[in-house]
Amino acid sequence: MKVKMKLFSVFLMCFILFTAINRCSDHDNNNLVNGVVVYLGSPAADGCGWAININSKVYKPIELQE
């Protein structure tokens, strides 16, 4: 009886592990985009020295905490 319980436990752990691995697919995240971090100069001028360029549109952070 103990051997059957051990085998069942191992089978159950393997099943859970493989199920979790299949859910971590790169194709599931459709929010990924390619962008370029652009250096805009010294942060002393306006508080931020960088921006992100995505499809020829520049995105700057609104407020950065210290």
Which among 30, 44, 31, 39 is positioned nearest to 60, based on CA atoms? 39
- The length of the chain is 66
User: What percentage of the chain exceeds 90 in pLDDT?
Assistant: 12
pLDDT, mean of residues 2-30: 76
CB 51 within 8 A of CB 38: yes
pLDDT at position 66: 64
Q: What is the pTM of this model?
A: 0.46
Handedness of CA 41, 46, 49, 54 (dihedral sign): negative
User: What are the tokens at 36?
Assistant: 């370029």
pLDDT digits (tens, 9 = 90+) for 18-35: 777 665 555 556 777 889
Residue 42 has pLDDT above 70, yes or no: yes
